A = this chain, B = another copy of it.
Amino acid sequence: MQEFSSYKEKLLTEQIEEQILDYITKEQIESGKKLPNEFILAEKFGVGRSTLREAVKLLVARGVLEVRHGSGTYVTSSMPLDNDPLHLREIEDKISLAMDIVNVRLILEPEIAALAALNATEEDIKRLRELCSMVEDKIINDEPYIKEDIEFHAFIAKCSKNVVMGQLIPIIDTAVLLFVNITHKALKRETIETHRAITDAIQKRDYIGAKTAMLMHIIYNRDKIKEIKDSRNSDR
């Protein structure tokens, strides 16, 4: 019966993993914020602390949680990094996939930025400006900035106060990181300028300004992908 019982344990750990993810969504615990301690969570989910710890480990591996020793467990992202709910991993033509993703972003994200200008709270705007600066600092210091970039866009989706947008954008934008990170570091100046313009417009409650700034941001990305796609085609 050894095999059965370890299967059940695995199943239970994965269920708790899923429940922690659901809990983060439901309680809207943002990245950087702390989870309740393991005694509270173990009781909440009706499991032992060792099961809870295993589930936390899985979420650390997936980039969702971070354990800071002597301090607690923090949310680093509400979206698991290995998550591929759109099953895009299988797609072979990565440049066409990059184009498909940017075309979806082009439809969704300008509208989301407009909604964020209408619905963001003052506290949201403060956080958005922090995220904007974080991306900028990384770019200026020539460090990888794509995680912070995704966090910036995901947070704008949260500011729209549409829960479906809040869930969709991290999935779509994380797909860029996972599969088709071809424009990264190619658009440094443009990213700094358009991110600032988006943040400013949301702060000023400029609905159309937020939409057009986001459009411009994504058009820069699309043009870059088009350039890469065309140069590949002319190689043939």
Binding site for B on A (CB under 8 A): 3-4, 7-8, 11-12, 14-15, 18-19, 21-22, 25-26, 43-46, 83, 85-91, 96-97, 100-101, 103-104, 107-108, 111, 162-165, 167-168, 171-172, 175
Contacts and interface: CB of A to CB of B under 8 A. Distances in A.
B167 A168 contact: no
Nearest to A10: B19
A225 B163 CA distance: 16
Contacts of A26: 90-91
A107 B108 contact: yes
A63 to B, nearest CB: 16
Nearest to A27: B90
Given A107-B108, A108-B108, A164-B175, 15 more contacts: A4-B43, A7-B44, A7-B46, A11-B15, A11-B18, A11-B45, A15-B15, A25-B87, A83-B85, A86-B164, A88-B163, A88-B167, A96-B163, A97-B164, A107-B111
A22 B87 contact: yes
The copy count of this chain in the complex is 2
A163 B180 CA distance: 14
B8 A164 contact: no
B86 A167 contact: yes
Contacts of A162: 100, 103-104
B164 A104 contact: yes
A161 to B, nearest CB: 9
